[in-house]
Amino acid sequence: MSEMINVASYWPFFVSSEKRKFYYTTDDGSMPPISSVFQYDGSTNSMQYVDYDAAGNWKDTWFYQYRPDFGVAEWRDDYPQNNKLYKRIFGSTKKLVFSEPIGWGNSVALGSGYANRPKVDPFWSVPPQIGGCYQSVLFEQILDYYTTRHGDTYNDVLVFNYLQDWTKECSGARYWMAKGVGPVSVQWLGVLPGEIPYLYTDHSKVHLITTSRMDAIVTYENRAVS
């Protein structure tokens, strides 16, 4: 019988003023550095997963919650609004709110897959818009110990990959999620167009196009002392 895992226990969840920061680089310099910050947003009772590029420019923010009957639910994504007309009318932030959240799993069997079909809510999104995708997650393995190239060792690390098909493109990432910490490594993924149909039938048959792995140096601001 496959080991059952609680997916939410590997994602950062806290209710405090802490800012948990991840600074990612590759060992071969093939990818520009990026950084991510996890923080709690009291106004929405959500965690925020905020991404920045190498220059420190904001790229996007995911809002996610744990919902007992659903699991880890990414229910809103914010991006910089680059359309000049929309920026004048709606402001500098593009907001995608999902009536069906992007799902990341709940209680799942190790080695199994999870999938759902997120839908954009046109009434709560800014500017109003429609759309959706197919989200597929494969829970690959649990590592008792995992050491990044920076020499940081973590216990109990969940390795999983996800792919999203937004019709025009299909891409995703592989995460090394350390329990109680978050994504200590990440690797970006792509799919050959001819193999996208496998995503809907058997994610494990997809041959992934991968970048170099990016390992993080993790720092904490306002960390709660237990």
What is the β-pairing status of strands 119-120 and 34-41?
unpaired
- The answer to the question of residue 226 being in a domain is no
Distances (CA, A) of 98 to 111, 128, 157, 204: 27, 12, 29, 27
- Residues 6 or more apart whose CB falls under 8 angstroms from that of 34 comprise 24, 51, 52, 53, 54, 59, 214
- The answer to the question of residue 166 being in a domain is yes
> pLDDT digit string (tens) for 113-129?
999 999 999 999 999 99
**Does residue 158 have a pLDDT over 60?**
yes
Tokens of residue 148, six digits: 């990044």
- The answer to the question of residue 191 being in a domain is yes
Q: Which residues pair with 187 in a beta bridge?
A: 174
Q: Let me know: does 86 contact 108? Beta carbons within 8 Å.
A: no
Where in the sequence is the domain holding 58, given as residue range(s)?
Answer: 4-221
CA 118 to chain centre: 14
Q: Which residues pair with 192 in a beta bridge?
A: none
pLDDT at position 169, please?
79
pLDDT at position 226, please?
55
- The answer to the question of residue 34 being in a domain is yes
| Nearest residue to 148 via CA among 34, 28, 24 | 24
Backbone phi, psi, residue 128, to 5°: -55, 135
Helix (H/G/I), strand (E/B), else coil: 68? coil
pLDDT at position 53, please?
98
- What is the mean pLDDT of the segment spanning 66-77? 97
* Distance (Å, whole) CA 107 – CA 110: 10
pLDDT at position 1, please?
57
Q: Let me know: does 63 contact 46? Beta carbons within 8 Å.
A: yes
* Distance (Å, whole) CA 186 – CA 66: 22
**Does residue 225 have a pLDDT over 80?**
no
- The answer to the question of residue 181 being in a domain is yes
pLDDT at position 202, please?
86
Q: What is the mean pLDDT of the chain?
A: 95
**Global pTM value:** 0.95
- The answer to the question of residue 175 being in a domain is yes
Tokens of residue 113, six digits: 């897959």
**Does residue 82 have a pLDDT over 90?**
yes
Domain count, the chain: 1
**Does residue 167 have a pLDDT over 90?**
no
- The answer to the question of residue 27 being in a domain is yes
**Does residue 180 have a pLDDT over 70?**
yes
Please, which contacts does 114-117 make with residues 24 or more away whose CB atoms are closer than 8 Å?
114/139, 115/200, 115/203
Which CATH number is 172's domain given?
2.40.360
- The answer to the question of residue 91 being in a domain is yes
